[in-house]
Structure 1
Amino acid sequence: MAQYDTVRAGVGTRAAIDEGLRAHMNKVYGLMSVGLLITALASWAIAGLAVTTDPTGATAAISEGKYLTGLGQAIYMSPLKWVVMFAPLAMVFAFGAAINRLSASGAQLFFYAFAALMGLSISSIFLVFTGVSIVQTFLITAIAFAGLSLYGYTTKRDLSALGAFLIMGLIGLIVASIVNIFIGSSMLHFAISVIGVLIFAGLTAYDTQKIKTDYIAHAQAMDSEWLAKSAIMGALNLYLDFINLFMFLLQFLGNRE
């Protein structure tokens, strides 16, 4: 149920607010689901183009009977890999800076383009982990995400203080991850994975509650353009929570090739 104490009197009936909130959340989850589908398809397709079982013309062997194509060599072994790795992060910052200038349709297209780029960035998981373990980890992530998001939507507890703490932790996690790219510490990698799971589990609940409270706070205006952009930003935040939770869980649950 909506937190009606945050809405001024006269905005509308409870039923109207609840109906609008449900429609808004459905749109958020719908956009997020489309983004995840685009990422999955892009990642699978790119990995398929990057690996071959035919040694003719292959550039490098990655395992018995599997070789990198020219595309795979460029994406995973050339300096281009750094662009592929950091491009999604740069695109997120660019999206946040440009959202106010974009139309709702433009923002949605930007989100889908970002989802495709993310698929390129994480496509290497198909080279490292078995397909079965990737699917299993995805399903576990989906179940955990659903529970955490449901908690964020239904809890009466204000998670804003927790959110500030988690965002600071996220900044530290990004810095530590970049540092570990160059030093390659297995202990630091393990610590990053554990902390990453905890941070994005908390952010899933926090972001869900924030999407809900932001809608209620702006329910009086009911600006259709704002609602559309808000749904896209909410979808992006939950998408990032899901992807990162999945990637960190894969470090523990994934079976390597």
Structure 2
Amino acid sequence: MSDLSSSSTATHAGGLVLADRPDHAASVKRVLRNTYALLSMTLLFSAGVAGLSVAQGWPAPGLLLSLGGMFGLLFAVHKLKDSGWGLVATFGLTGFMGYTLGPVLSHTLALPGGAQTVVMALGVTGITTLALSAYVLTTRRDFSAMGGFLFVGMIVALLLGLAAAFMNIPALGLAVSGMVALLSVGLILFETSRIVNGGETNYVLATIGLYVSIFNLFTSLLALFGMGGDD
């Protein structure tokens, strides 16, 4: 199996990153190709697990188990990113996240207009992801400066989300969903620009970064679009 990471250099100019070496351009193309291939497979795998979870009526794993499983598998992905086991950990993480999504989909589908809500959230997520990716790939804008803000924002959203869950405050939960949706849009721009401009040369980590952002965008939109039917 070929190495999962490669080195590259780039020159920054006026907020844009210009590739001035043929090996850099080749490296970026390779990372992009491998990232989107793996991302497509993990999204399909995750969707399959979610669909199976809905069909079999698997119970929700609970908040603590969900967080523990996701962060534990995310840690494993980072530790194994440079070996073939990194791919196993990647599918393990995305499959687990698909499993946690199943009960959420079952709940949404049971609401009035639930099927339309799922389709709408899925459609908006897909269109948004494609549009943002196309924008970065076309303009090659560097959004790396957003990293610190987005990281802090996600930490705040996580804490507020936990507070909303434990204190049973639906309004706060919806506000957090809106916040996460906006942060996810920023993270898709950030992650894609890191790949395009050579900031991320490991396609396993690039895939996970995009997958988590897309997953969070979809679940946030699902909560926002479904709030009218959830009494």
- TM (normalized to structure 2)? 0.80
Indicate yes or no: 2:47 matched with 1:40: yes
Instruction: Report the CA distance between 1:215 and its aligned residue.
Output: 5.8
Match for residue 101 of structure 2 among 112, 119, 122:
122
> How many Å separate the matches in 2 of 1:167 and 1:194?
16
Match for residue 85 of structure 2 among 106, 118, 143:
106
Instruction: Report the CA distance between 1:131 and its aligned residue.
Output: 3.2
What is the match of residue 210 of structure 2? Answer: 238
Match for residue 187 of structure 1 among 164, 167, 171:
171
Indicate yes or no: 2:66 matched with 1:85: yes
Whether the 8 Å CA contact 1:36–1:239 is kept in 2: the answer is yes
Instruction: Report the CA distance between 1:21 and its aligned residue.
Output: 2.0
Whether the 8 Å CA contact 2:185–2:213 is kept in 1: the answer is yes
Indicate yes or no: 2:30 matched with 1:23: yes
> How many Å separate the matches in 2 of 1:5 and 1:208?
17
Q: Which runs of 5+ in 1 are unaligned?
A: 7-11, 51-71, 217-226
Q: Which amino acid is the alignment partner of residue 106 of structure 2? A: L
Per-residue Cα deviation, 1:145-181 (whole angstroms, up to 9, x for no partner): 1111233334454322211111111111111111111
> How many Å separate the matches in 2 of 1:243 and 1:82?
16
Q: Which amino acid is the alignment partner of residue 23 of structure 1? A: R
Instruction: Report the CA distance between 1:247 and its aligned residue.
Output: 0.7
Q: Which amino acid is the alignment partner of residue 88 of structure 2? A: L
> How many Å separate the matches in 2 of 1:151 and 1:133?
27
Q: Which runs of 5+ in 2 are unaligned?
A: 1-7, 13-18, 109-113
Indicate yes or no: 2:193 matched with 1:209: yes
User: For residues 92 and 4 of structure 1, do their structure 2 counterparts lie closer, same or farther at Cα, with a shift above 3 Å needed?
Assistant: closer
Matches within 5 A, 1:150-229: 150-155=134-139, 157-214=141-198
| RMSD over equivalenced CA pairs, Å | 2.6
What is the match of residue 127 of structure 2? Answer: 143
Instruction: Report the CA distance between 1:19 and its aligned residue.
Output: 3.8
Instruction: Report the CA distance between 1:39 and its aligned residue.
Output: 0.8
Aligned residues: 210
Q: Which runs of 4+ in 1 moved over 6 A?
A: none
